[in-house]
Chains A and B, each alone.
Chain A
């Protein structure tokens, strides 16, 4: 009976003993995920480490890699002490801030490498891309235009009638976004990011907006309030 109880508790606690102990580096996040060419921008890179107990605190590196993952250089060390862009000390999320000032539009690739006690090889994260967009492509957020508002007939809420938020999949190139918006007769006003999704704020021509506003299937949440 005692043995059975012990077995039960062992099963119950087994996941607790192993959870979070895997020496892996989760997918890094760059904030902002895109910068403008010829504009000096500070970018914060962060990544959650799977095994905080065994990670060597000074052994987490930000690597710049090429499109196929070959390492170009070690750009900076990440910390979990609440410094250099790290929000909370000791939360297992390591961060660093670097300044990017690329003269031409391009895509930069990044990877995080972490050293763990008793491990010969470092653990490497996935490679993430950071787009350097042309100067004409806005990468900052904008406030809704309060001069052009209508009442949404479905919700009776006031919405901006000449602007709409569009969501694009992470990694969608600025050139693809520009093409899409141009095809719809719109202009890109600004850009902001929520979690890992990329949100695009676009200003459409009034004709298109009127058309959209009259259509009931257009979700009000997609319209700017």
Chain B
């Protein structure tokens, strides 16, 4: 009798942990050529642009999977940052060359990768056997903080639609509930004789618990590492490599030649910053072909906020390049 109650519980338990939440983005509702950045809460897109079928998008080769809008890589490989780490990321991709999805955790360590099945899956010109909108997915229960999608380094090589990401990283509270539930079941069963099926079920629970708990613990420990930004000072964040730090208080901004002072002020004002550029004479002495300026900013609250600021600066036509200042941590 008790065994009958236990089986559904066993089946539902892992689901309760894994399906903590999921989101889908179909890119509809934006006009053609919208630069994607922070329009979706909790997600920061870089080098991404909305294309609409029949306007900028060639829907004959790159048909949207749903609706009329897709997102495409714009000028460089696309990256997607999540403010809260996710356990999986997926989407439907149509591409003109091989594309690779790389997933990184909060410490910028690559944790998963996926590569397209063909080199070209366009509807009319694609490889034999390919079809548009190939499903690609990367998973990591420990938490994915960033996904990069690389096709042509110059961009304009793929479109994606119906992107989904699941925030299935177990939270301490759900982990606690799960453990409590398991212990409760075990205590209930303690008075009865344990038959073979019950033993199997309990072993299964522990296996699931071990797998999920391990992943959660790994992600939790990495994301709460004492060397994170909180210990590095205001506006200073941990860099992509051990010991590196990113200073969010200044950026190197390369502007196209002949940009007016007014334009510089507009760019600086857009991010509440102050821009200093070399004079013509200084530029001549430096021998540089473009305006290399320094943008002074208020310290960012988070690395994501800082990246959003960079994306905003990059959206200006007169901005040729933006470089973060990466240094070495004194704490390392």
Q: Which residues from chain A sit less than 8 Å from chain B, CB to CB?
A: 56, 58-59, 61, 63, 70-71, 74, 113, 115-122, 124
Contacts and interface: CB of A to CB of B under 8 A. Distances in A.
17 contacts: A56-B58, A56-B124, A58-B60, A70-B31, A71-B52, A71-B55, A74-B54, A113-B54, A115-B58, A115-B59, A115-B61, A117-B125, A118-B122, A118-B124, A122-B54, A122-B58, A124-B56
Contact of A71 (B31, B72, B156): B31
Contact of B58 (A63, A70, A74, A119): A119
Interface of B: 31-32, 51-52, 54-62, 72, 96, 122, 124-125, 156-159
Contacts of A63: 54-55
B56 A122 contact: yes
Contacts, number: 58
Given A70-B31, A71-B31, A120 B58 contact: yes
A85 B215 CA distance: 66
Contact of A115 (B60, B156, B157): B60
Nearest to B122: A118
Nearest to A59: B60
A113 B55 contact: yes
A121 B96 contact: no
Contacts of B52: 71
A71 B51 CA distance: 12
A120 B126 CA distance: 12
B318 to A, nearest CB: 18
Contacts of A58: 60
A134 B125 CA distance: 49
Given A56-B124, A124-B56, A71 B32 contact: yes
Contact of A120 (B31, B54, B62): B62
Contacts of B157: 120
B48 to A, nearest CB: 14
A56 B124 CA distance: 10
Given A56-B124, A117-B124, A122 B55 contact: yes
B56 to A, nearest CB: 5
B176 to A, nearest CB: 48
Nearest to B151: A120
Interface centre among B52, B57, B58, B72 (most CB of A within 10 A): B58
A61 B54 contact: yes
A120 B60 contact: no
A121 B122 CA distance: 12
